[in-house]
Amino acid sequence: MRNIVKYAGIGLLVLGLAACDQKQDEAANDNGVSASQSTQTVTLMDGKLSFSLPPGMSDKSGKLGSQATNMHVYADETGARAIIVIAGDPTNDSLDVLSQRMEQQQRNRDPQLQVVSNKAVTLKDQPAQQLDTVISANNQTSWSSVILAKVDGKLLTLQITLPGDNQQQAQSDADNIVKSITLK
């Protein structure tokens, strides 16, 4: 569980770094994802994970310097919309137990946290857990959907963070990304 907290902390750091980076990226990155205006499919973990990257988002993983290769970050140019994918360590804990721990740790860090749902979901016939939250701080609201799943016994965490000013739109946008996830 310490690793999940560590990765969640890294994720928050990534969002902060992405928000500070206003540089325009014109070239495509190593994964073939560019900052174009069309939806693209991202494939990771030797083809065991794929999802649709919304228009305007591109790979920002290289901007993190020498971070571990098991973390991938996709964001828009402002950093307000981001998807963080972390391939974690093997775990024997169930997804609902891991999700409950993550929820409790987030509540401990942020008393403003509003949990919208913490539920079991199925992604293309694979079990997963989805934790949807809203966080308000500094007059800004963010929607977060965290997907926990296991791939080859390893914990996969996919966090989708979107501006939450229009909560219904943010939820719809996050759900579209979640529906595009394929696990093998």
Give the start-to-end residue ranges of the domains of the chain.
2-183
* Alpha-carbon span 9 to 6, nearest angstrom: 5
| Sheet containing 40-44: order of strands | 40-44, 49-53, 182-183
CA distances from 100 to 94, 121, 148, 162 (A): 10, 15, 11, 22
> Which superfamily, per CATH, for 2-183?
Mog1/PsbP, alpha/beta/alpha sandwich (3.40.1000.10)
Query: Which residues, listed in sequence order, are joined to residue 159 by a DSSP beta bridge?
Result: 84, 146
For the stretch 40-94, pLDDT in tens is: 999 998 999 999 999 999 999 876 544 456 899 999 999 899 999 999 899 999 9
Query: Exposed, middle or buried by CB within 10 Å (0-12, 13-18, 19+), for 118?
Result: middle
Q: Which residues, in sequence order, are CB contacts of 152 under 8 Å at separation 6+? A: 48
For the stretch 134-172, pLDDT in tens is: 998 888 899 999 999 999 889 999 999 999 999 999 999
Q: Is residue 30 scored above 50 in pLDDT?
A: no
Q: pTM of the predicted model, to two decimals?
A: 0.78
